[in-house]
Amino acid sequence: MIQIDFDGELNDEDIHRIERETNERIWKNIPVEITYPSEEELKDIPYRSKKELEGTVRIVTIEDTDICACCGTHVRYTGEVGVIHLLSVEKHKSGCRIEMLAGQRAWQWLRDTADQNIQISHLFSAKPLETADAVRKYIEQNREINRKLAGIKRSYIEMKAEALPETDVCVMVENDLDADACRMLGDLLLEKNKAKISAVFTEVSPGVCRFVWLSREYDLKKITNTLRASMTIKGGGNAQMQQGMIEGNIEQIKKTAEQAFREAVSAAV
């Protein structure tokens, strides 16, 4: 990958134009002329970034394209470059930085990108030049589905919380709920005064469960630290909420945690 820094700003339209015009000059296979003009001749040559230079100066000229003083390696004809592709442009210091590929690397990147696009077109049953619209439509549909699911999840959690009796400590295993839903259920139990400590466990894999427990009256951080003596707990939080992962049998974890919560409530009475 090649990086080129400029002292000005370029937008997407500029990048597309530069890439197109550069490739047009490459494909014209223009000769690259190398000359060593005399000091007098150099004064009349409008080379790029012109400044006073001492000694022999090497001038590289590409007709109707560029004239520069350069001691680097150059192709004999522009066609030897093959193709260039500008990958990105981003703000850099007071100007911008372009990332680009040339020759075989550019062709391979374009080939790989085309292969990926063909796979996407098959997945979305869309023509190769219509994949962006197909993906946008899919994202919009997915957002709408997620919005509806969020409403259904909220309704289910509210009904679940409403159906539970009031108690000091409410500990549940809810394997059908994700982490956000578990927090929502636990928090709703506190809002509805259904519990003083609410805890929800979800088995994520054999021997590992996710937990979230909440309270507005008891220091859960202190209780969690006590439980660490008998459990492998990864996670944390603050006095009002603790969450993370616990290793072990979920029913035994539930039983041990519930006992610790009830002891904390009894000790505060």
Which tokens is 78 given? 């522009």
- Could you list the beta-strand ranges (E) of the chain: 2-6, 32-35, 59-62, 66-69, 84-92, 95-102, 169-173, 197-205, 208-215, 232-237, 241-247
- Per-residue confidence (pLDDT) for residue 269, from 0 to 100: 63
Over residues 222-233, the mean pLDDT reads 91
pLDDT tens digit sequence for 231-254? 899 998 999 999 999 999 999 999
Over residues 65-69, the mean pLDDT reads 92
Per DSSP, 48 falls in state B
Burial pattern 57-74, b for ≥16 Cβ within 10 A else e, equals: bebbbbeeeebebeeeee
pLDDT tens digit sequence for 1-54? 899 998 888 988 999 999 999 999 999 999 999 999 988 888 888 888 777 777
* Entry pTM: 0.67
CA 14 to chain centre: 26
pLDDT tens digit sequence for 123-159? 999 999 999 999 999 999 999 999 999 899 889 899 9
pLDDT tens digit sequence for 72-103? 889 999 999 999 999 999 998 889 999 999 99
